[in-house]
Amino acid sequence: MIYNAKDGTIRLAGGEMEYISFGTGPQALVMLPGLGDGLRSVKGTSLPMAFMYRKFAKDFTVYAFSRRKVLAEDATTEDMAADVKEAMDVLDIEHAHLLGVSMGGMISQHFAADYPQMVDKLVLTVTCAQPNPVLEEAIGEWTDCALRGDHRALMESNLRRIYSEGYYRRNKWMIPLVGRLTKPASYDRFLIMARACLEHNAYGKLGQITAPTLVVGGEKDICLGGDASREIAEHIEGSELVMYEQWGHGLYEEAKDFNDIVLEFLKGE
């Protein structure tokens, strides 16, 4: 099988969680995706994810975890971190590097502070420690689209806010296609996760994070702003900060050297 790519489902206490894995390396790398997981889980993405992150496949066995299938209405990012811990226990992953993107980075902050013995190195990409006006505006826009069931508008807003202007212009023709692939039967799970983002606050825990940490942000991020990354780096002792001047929230896909920077950090002493 290409890159040893697999899809799976984990049984948790009171529910299930979908995940994928790929790679054959001796070290575990756990990836936590963003709010888009509320529209479509990682199920069925093992091959494209393995191709996108193929540089990691030799050195790491990579796992990407969705949120649990059915979320409590009051679920928090801290609760979701506890779910990741349970999932790792089920798969006998005693410790791993942790890469969190956007909402996944919010969850990763709680995880690294609450379960420090399970985190080797931490990468926090385009994420924040607490809500800010930029985040509130973006999620407010997406929530409004979801509440009125306008999936095309939601996808258009996502594409416009997450990616660069050039990427948006080149790819906006795909909005109807992406809409058909990602429209959920219900927006309930997405709305629960959106609320959890707006209520996320790990600011007071940043000082408890002891794992070597790389923070990556984009100056043109109109989903949560570049200052959010700087705030995190300032409060995690010894952390490294990489800021992309030309990229925004989708830098993990658009910046050609993103995977190389992360790989160098994870493999470095």
Q: Which residue has the tokens 């996808």?
A: 155
Asked which of 59-63, 81-85, 179-183, 233-237 is least confident by mean pLDDT, the reply is 179-183
How many CA atoms does the CB half-sphere of 180 hold within 13 Å?
4
In a domain, 78, yes or no: yes
Provide the mean pLDDT of the chain.
96
Q: How many CB atoms lie within 10 A of CB 173?
A: 8
Considering its fold, how many domains does the chain have in total?
1
The mean pLDDT value for 103-111 works out to 98
- What does each C-alpha distance from 132 to 124, 139, 201, 227, 229 come to in angstroms? 17, 11, 11, 10, 12
In the chain, what percentage of residues exceed pLDDT 70?
Answer: 100
Q: What is the pLDDT of residues 209-231, one digit of tens each?
A: 999 999 999 999 999 999 999 99
Whether 149 is covered by a domain: the verdict is: no
- Domain assignment present for 23: yes
CATH code, 53: 3.40.50.1820
Nearest 5°: CA angle at 171, between 167 and 173?
155
Q: Is residue 219 part of a domain?
A: yes
pLDDT of residue 1: 59
Residue 67 located in a structural domain: yes
Q: In the chain, what percentage of residues exceed pLDDT 90?
A: 91
User: How does pLDDT run across 5-37, given as a tens digit for each residue?
Assistant: 999 999 999 999 999 999 999 999 999 999 999
pLDDT higher than threshold 90 for residue 175: no
pLDDT over 80 at 2, yes or no: no
Range of the domain at 227: 2-130+201-267
Identify whether the C-beta of residue 22 lies closer than 8 Å to the C-beta of residue 50. Answer: yes
Q: What pLDDT is recorded for position 64?
A: 98
Q: 196 vs 191, 192, 201, 224, 233, CA distance in Å? A: 9, 6, 9, 15, 22
Residue 75, domain member (yes or no): yes
**Tokens matching residue 94:** 């005693």
Q: Is residue 145 a part of any domain in this protein? A: no
**pTM (2 d.p.):** 0.96
In-domain check, residue 183: no
